[in-house]
């Protein structure tokens, strides 16, 4: 495997959890619910996935467990935000705080325990295509799931009746209610789908990305997933693009940190100079790049107020109480 291929492979691995989590949140937000608890659901999925994989010895059971934990955990949010009509921003934060605490308590026994890795599934023949073969056809199951999710969500939202109902609830819950649609049922399902995705994304971190349990290991990825939804202006395919962009930024800073200048002396002078310059930047500044990039991207996207308003689900963040 060549150097470029190896780097691209790590980009794919970094992008997958972002893509899955953001896809779930996209569906929740399209139904009008702003769930800021992605970080909390994701970390619960990370520990849940790790714990189930440990107990069963099977990483697939782990991934499924992480997904179920994420979905169940999101029910807490749904009950408050949908049934009790609480402030969605505060409730989402509560979910994140609780998730970080519960996962820490649960994960205490797993600190330093070697994990079970979700092995790549190698598709014969196709994986032998130069360059893209190994990237697209020799990946772990969750990579295939993430790509399938983009197709599935995009098809569901814009090509099915269920998708139409979901979007109508997000765009005008009063009309949807008047048409006899159960707003709360749609929103419960959408939130749980988001929770399942966030949980699955979390289990990717503990079963593929690091294969161990580290406290607070999501490190803001849940929030980046939320930002991706805004970045994508609530469109599935743009999330795919955004996730890979952020995967690339995350990986780039790691590679610069790991760079060994001694190995690069063959490079032409100016290129070597740039590399040396990048290498001289303290690690902490490089590590803050994904967060700064998120801010930069949000600024670029939000500048056009009119464009953002067109795409935002009109009822986003607003609770629904039927009139009687």
Partner 1 sequence: MRIEVSRRQMPSQLFSYLSPVIALLLTVLLGAIVFMALGKDPVQAMYSYFIEPLTETWSLHELLIKATPLILIAVGLSVCYLSNNWNIGAEGQFLMGAVAGSAIPVLAPDFQSFITLPLMLVFAMAGGAAFAAIPAFLKSRFNTNEILTSLMLVYVAQLFVDWLVRGPWRNPQGFSFPGTVTFNDFALLPEMFPASGRANIGILFAVVAAVLVWLMITRTMKGFEVRVLGQNPRAGRFAGFSSAKMTFFAFLLSGALAGLAGIIEVAGAVQHLNEKLSVGYGFAAIIVVFLGRLNPLGAIVAGLVLALTYLGGEAAQISLQISDKSARVFQGMLLFLVLACDTLIHFRIRFVTARSVSSPKVENS
Residues that bind partner 1 (CB under 8 A): 36, 76, 80, 83-87, 89-91, 93-95, 97-102, 104-105, 108, 219-220, 223, 226-227, 230, 282-285, 287-288, 291-292, 294-295, 298-299, 302-303, 305, 308, 321, 324
Three-state secondary structure readout of 69-132: HHHHHHHHHHHHHHHCCCCHHHHHHHHHHHHHHHHHHHHHHHECCCCCCCCCEECCCHHHCCCH
Beta carbon of residue 7, minimum distance to partner 1 (angstroms, whole number)? 23
Which of 35/154 has CB closer to partner 1? 35
Alpha carbon distance 99, 73 (integer Å): 8
Which of 94/149 has CB closer to partner 1? 94
How far is residue 162 from each of residues 22, 233, 269, measured CA to CA in Å?
20, 21, 59
Which of 161/303 has CB closer to partner 1? 303
Which of 55/292 has CB closer to partner 1? 292
Alpha carbon distance 225, 222 (integer Å): 5
Which of 64/243 has CB closer to partner 1? 243
Alpha carbon distance 214, 110 (integer Å): 8
φ, ψ for residue 122, nearest 5 deg? -95, 120
Beta carbon of residue 269, minimum distance to partner 1 (angstroms, whole number)? 29
Tally Cβ neighbours within 10 Å of residue 211.
Answer: 16
Residue partners of 238: CB distance under 8 A and separation at least 6:
231, 232
Beta carbon of residue 229, minimum distance to partner 1 (angstroms, whole number)? 10
Beta carbon of residue 13, minimum distance to partner 1 (angstroms, whole number)? 21
Which of 180/268 has CB closer to partner 1? 180
Beta carbon of residue 99, minimum distance to partner 1 (angstroms, whole number)? 7
Q: Which one, of 317, 323, 314, 321, lies nearest residue 77 by Cα?
A: 317
Beta carbon of residue 294, minimum distance to partner 1 (angstroms, whole number)? 5
Tell me the residue ranges of DSSP E strands in the chain: 121-122, 138-139
């Amino acid at each position: 495997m060549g150097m470029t291929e190896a780097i691209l492979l790590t980009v794919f691995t970094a992008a997958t959890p972002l893509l899955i989590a953001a896809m779930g949140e996209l569906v929740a937000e399209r139904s009008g619910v702003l769930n800021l608890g992605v970080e909390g659901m994701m970390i619960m999925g990370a520990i849940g996935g790790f714990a189930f994989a440990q107990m069963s010895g099977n990483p697939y059971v782990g991934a499924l467990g992480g997904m179920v934990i994420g979905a169940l955990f999101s029910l807490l949010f749904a009950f408050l935000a949908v049934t009790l009509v609480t402030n969605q921003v505060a409730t989402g934060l509560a979910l994140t705080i609780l998730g970080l605490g519960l996962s820490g308590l649960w994960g205490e026994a797993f600190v330093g325990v070697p994990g079970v890795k979700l092995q790549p599934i190698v598709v014969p023949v196709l994986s032998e295509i130069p360059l893209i073969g190994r990237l697209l056809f020799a990946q772990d199951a969750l990579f295939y799931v993430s790509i399938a999710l983009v197709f599935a969500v995009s098809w569901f939202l814009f090509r099915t009746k269920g998708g139409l109902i979901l979007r109508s609830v997000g765009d005008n819950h009063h009309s949807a209610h008047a048409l006899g649609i159960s707003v709360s049922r749609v929103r419960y399902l959408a939130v749980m789908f988001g929770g399942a995705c966030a949980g699955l994304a979390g289990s990717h971190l503990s079963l593929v990305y690091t294969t161990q349990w580290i406290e607070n290991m999501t490190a803001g990825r849940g929030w980046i997933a939320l930002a991706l939804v805004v970045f994508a202006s609530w469109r599935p395919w743009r999330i795919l693009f955004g996730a890979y962009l952020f995967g690339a930024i995350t990986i780039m800073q790691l590679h610069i940190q790991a760079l060994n200048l001694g190995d690069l002396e063959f490079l032409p002078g100016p290129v070597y100079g740039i590399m040396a310059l990048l290498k001289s930047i303290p690690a902490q500044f490089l590590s803050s790049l994904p967060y700064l990039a998120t801010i930069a991207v949000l600024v670029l996207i939000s500048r056009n107020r009119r464009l953002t308003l067109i795409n935002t689900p009109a009822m986003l963040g607003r609770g629904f109480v039927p009139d009687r």
